[in-house]
Amino acid sequence: MPVQKIPMKKIRRERYTKLNIDRKWLLLGAFGFILSFFINIWPLIFLSIFCVANAILLSIDRYINAPLDVELSTFSAVLMTTVYGLNWGIAVAVLTKVAAILYNKNIRVDHFFMIGGYVVAALFANVFRGLPIIALGIIVTMITNLYVVFVSKFITMLSNYEIMMYGSSNAIFNSVLFLGFSEIFLRIMTL
């Protein structure tokens, strides 16, 4: 019985599966790695994470037409201001809402006032920067909600019911975020 010669190429093809990695992800990773030598890319990473998470969270507006204000913009503005400074806080305050507007393909006049509220959150987070993160977050949430109540009452002319529902849902949601997750995010962001 003669020995049959099998080409090595055929053996490799049958035994091993090819690892499929998209080149664009390799290039993006290499670009990020090289860029990290010149600038701190962590703020960009967290900015992107907060924008995507807020856009997904606010997609409930597509399906539920209720006066609820559940958002990550205040939370992310306070954290980014505390860790990376006011400029990053304002950037995340604006871009998280813009990302949600673009993702949901829904733009209303009150969105611009909401962006103003998140910028107010970043500004007050910078003013009270020395406080513990939980206290800072709750204080800034209350100040931001006061701003939104004023704007809702006198500029966008919402009803008292809508103002109460938007304000209370936002205060409760952000308070839960700060009580439950702010210290964890702060530790991760300051690694």
pLDDT band at 16 (very low <50, low <70, confident <90, very high): low
- Tell me what the mean pLDDT of segment 109-137 comes to: 95
Average pLDDT across the chain, whole number: 90
- Tell me what the mean pLDDT of segment 49-60 comes to: 92
Q: Which residues contact residue 183 at a Cβ distance below 8 angstroms, ignoring those fewer than 6 apart?
A: 133, 134
Q: Mind listing the domains of the chain with CATH numbers?
A: 41-189 (1.10.1760)
Q: How far apart are CA 165 and CA 161, in angstroms?
A: 6
Q: How far apart are CA 55 and CA 132, in angstroms?
A: 28
Q: How far apart are CA 132 and CA 120, in angstroms?
A: 19
Q: How far apart are CA 80 and CA 16, in angstroms?
A: 46
- Tell me what the mean pLDDT of segment 19-46 comes to: 86
**pLDDT tops 80 at residue 87:** yes
* Residue showing tokens 């910078």: 126
Q: Which residues contact residue 111 at a Cβ distance below 8 angstroms, ignoring those fewer than 6 apart?
A: 97, 101
pLDDT band at 36 (very low <50, low <70, confident <90, very high): confident
